[in-house]
Amino acid sequence: MAGRDVAGRDAAARNAAGNDAAGNEGDRGSLTVLGCDGSYPGPGGACSGYLVRGGGATVWLDAGAGTFAALQLVADPRTVDAVVLSHEHPDHWIDVDSFAAWRRGAGCGRPVAVYAPPGLRNRSYFGGDPTLAWHQVEPSWRVAVRGVEAPATGGGSGLLLSFCATDHGPPTLGVRIEHAAGDRSAGLAALGYTADTGPDWSAEELGPGIGLLLCEATYTSEHEGEGRHLSGRQAGGLAAAAGVGRLVLTHRRPSTDASALEAEAATEFGAPVEQAAVNRVFPW
């Protein structure tokens, strides 16, 4: 199991996996954590948001409060090829409005694709703004994102996104991300993101071959049933049942003890688990 990667702004651009400043390591992908607090940001923290890079493409996966500020420390916002918003709860999307305001001020021409479930566009102040190209996603969708640096053939091939519905109340999208080239010869595996979900859902919905599962774990087991979320225990069991390679916990409620959460997840997973933290970079 790969060890934890690095934290820190400089390190985020040149992480322990040897990725370059764009976060790409050859054909491998990277996941940079922009925020990982569950439901609301803790002191100095940020809600859910991740920068996913691979195949020459960059996808901003969830845009919770504080994540646009974090994004600007690790990437030029112009390099974002697409935004994916998992659901309408504010801790997962509110900073897309900050991004739209920035784009207007920066005079960006080409609209950026925003993939979101039904209803979210109407909540955004910039739901009709020409800087964003909104797409209402159904859970069965597959979307190819090709970065501007990704030629149709050759080195960069872009990323392929596949969506599924989770167990969370409002329409919520789990996401599978893989290299569009589909080349497994180099041992490339898919990245899975549970978004927010309750326990009546299986990570097998994300498909086979998940090398790294970014899984919500909001609280410890004594709080199970408080909401449509997972405890660390449930996250570990869900990941083990789906046979994923690595488990990275995220969306921890700021009042939850991180060590206790990690311990119960690892027990159920049957192996050490990792935890998201701002600026931590995970190769996948």
| Interface with Zn ion (CB under 5 A) | 91, 196
Query: Which residue's CB is nearer to Zn ion, number 65 or number 74?
Result: 65
Q: CB 47 → Zn ion: shortest distance, Å? A: 7
Query: Which residue's CB is nearer to Zn ion, number 88 or number 178?
Result: 88
Q: Residues 6 or more apart from 72 whose CB is under 8 A from it?
A: none
Query: Which residue's CB is nearer to Zn ion, number 91 or number 268?
Result: 91
Q: CB 273 → Zn ion: shortest distance, Å? A: 19
Query: Which residue's CB is nearer to Zn ion, number 208 or number 225?
Result: 225
Q: 67-106 b/e with 16+ CB inside 10 Å = b?
A: bbebbeebbebebbbbbbbbbbbebbbbbbbbbbebbeee
Residue with tokens 């900073």: 95
Query: Which residue's CB is nearer to Zn ion, number 189 or number 217?
Result: 217
CA distance 217 to 194: 10
Q: List 28's β-bridge partners, or say none.
A: 25
Q: CB 256 → Zn ion: shortest distance, Å? A: 13
Q: CB 39 → Zn ion: shortest distance, Å? A: 5
Q: Are 166 and 71 in contact (CB under 8 A)?
A: no
Q: CB 218 → Zn ion: shortest distance, Å? A: 8
CA distance 110 to 114: 13
